[in-house]
Chains A and B, each alone.
Chain A
């Protein structure tokens, strides 16, 4: 125990947290005859793609790419997108947007006071978002999953 503060009649203690692992150790593998598996001490969680790709599961949704407008960014037709709605939109982020009645995936370009939706395919033109557009940034793309 560590003395925090000492007054005439009263002494305040705070528990000290032991970090050196002394004392009894709980063994949860059971004790059996025969040699214990040497791997037991090194057991780890198997790799989970869900854990790797989904940082915020409440805010994460999946979407499928339809078309070629973002091939330059590695988003091919039919690829699966991991979309996180909790992330803030920012310059150069790839976002799923809803513009004039349609979902689209584009790179956000914020220049001065203008917002552009930048395709990554020379056959497509950038779209300037104005007040006339019915526009929402729906979520930010964090990963793209593709079959090869």
Chain B
């Protein structure tokens, strides 16, 4: 009898009971734009972050002509024009909807799925012993491509870390793999590990890379030659687990998070601010937005972190990057409490004379709102609860944040810079495709 999750090794062949797949959408944001604008196929496409800050997604063509990830848009303006790069502001309503479609299709292939990010998911195949998983992977790809127009790559292997490696191979060698690569023999596993650079292995951060480089460890294969003892002594259990995973022994399970553990709203400003009033207003708006997200998922927060930063691309002006966390005496989801605490925090870290470019509010230490512990001395004003529910209802009804709290400027409508925004083809009826 085979034990669950235990690889049974024969000379060169491994039979595994459970397999993992990593399905990753190729250049997801750029691919979403292409679905609704096929003219962009085979052309360089770059998607910019919020406020058109820097490049966050590139088509293969854009990568080939040397648009780096994170390229600041203002620095590359000329380059984009010269190389006819099609540039877009990020269209999250569109990407979010396309992601939901992709993930929902993946659910048709297995009940065990971990949505890892907007464009990738781990699938677990339990009891698929009689399936040809390579063919199954191809079926997954074909269905997602046909139904949504999004190209993907599928890596299949006995562990999550190896499925990431398999995915990289599928992505790197489309002709040979047709977008699906399976590591199902020891031979393939060793070959894959010898091929993949240590920096491309899942979970190997930059600091670890440097330390491994010193030891002359360049590939994943070199890494697994290190002894367990040495890894545990010099690194941590995380790296040891990774080593096991790369050896084909599963140590990581699918993670299925129920609710978010923290919520953040951070933005770059369109210009810079060196006065406290504008910054207070922004922080209040971000705090309100966090509180709203908290109420939507039925959570309250214990802790608020406020971030403030100058423009790091302009090295010639005074730089100041700072943050402050505030621990609340009771968990809350009230816009008023969170906003006031965030404003107090930002006032305490603000330095005059600095041109600030970016700010944010993060709420964390989340607990379910309906069963948090009462504090003996300090509790939320019970009126806030009904006030906030009216607040949310009115904003849903009238849209566009008609109801604000007094710290937010009513007259001021802040807009993200989105000069290259494509239509919201799937979420706004007035922006759908037009066909002649």
A-B contact count (CB 8 A): 59
Across the two chains, which residue of chain B brings its CB closest to A58?
Answer: B101
Q: Which residue of A lies closest to B105 (CB)?
A: A58
A38-74 CB mask vs B (1 if < 8 Å, else 0) is 0000000000000000001111011111110100000
Q: Which residues of B contact A129 (CB under 8 A)?
A: none
Q: How many residues of A contact B (CB 8 A)?
A: 25
Q: Which residue of B lies closest to A66 (CB)?
A: B434
Enumerate chain B residues within 8 angstroms of A67, measured Cβ to Cβ. Answer: 436
Expressed in whole angstroms, the Cα–Cα distance for A36 and B128 within the complex equals: 50
Contact residues of A: prevailing secondary structure: strand
Top 7 nearest A-B pairs (CB, nearest first) are A59-B147, A63-B433, A103-B435, A105-B435, A58-B101, A66-B434, A98-B38
Q: Quick one: CB contact mask for A95-110 with B, threshold 8 Å, 1 for yes?
A: 0101001111100000
B147 & A56 in contact (Cβ 8 Å cutoff): yes
Residue tally, chain B, CB below 8 Å to A:
18
How far apart are the CA atoms of A57 and B426 in the complex, in Å? 12
Which residues in B have their C-beta under 8 angstroms from that of A69? Answer: 436
Q: List 8 A-B contacts (CB under 8 A).
A: A56-B147, A61-B432, A62-B432, A64-B433, A67-B436, A103-B435, A105-B435, A138-B38
Tell me if B187 is interfacial: C-beta within 8 Å of chain A: no
Q: Is the Cβ of A63 less than 8 Å from the Cβ of B436? A: no
The reply to whether A85 and B436 form a contact with Cβ atoms under 8 Å apart is: no
- A57, B429: Cα distance in complex, Å: 16
Closest to A75 in B: B435
Give the Cβ gap from A62 to chain B, nearest Cβ, in Å.
Answer: 5
Per the bound structure, the CA–CA distance linking A101 and B105 in Å amounts to: 29
Q: Mark B138-160, 1 if CB is under 8 A from A, else 0.
A: 00000100111100000000000
Give min CB distance, B80 to chain A, whole Å: 21
Q: List residues of chain A with CB within 8 A of the CB of B429.
A: 62
Taking a contact as CB atoms closer than 8 A, the residue among A59, A61, A136 that contacts B433 in the complex is: A61
Q: How many whole Å from A102's CB to the nearest CB in chain B?
A: 7
Select which of A64, A80, A86 is within 8 A of B147 by beta carbon: A86
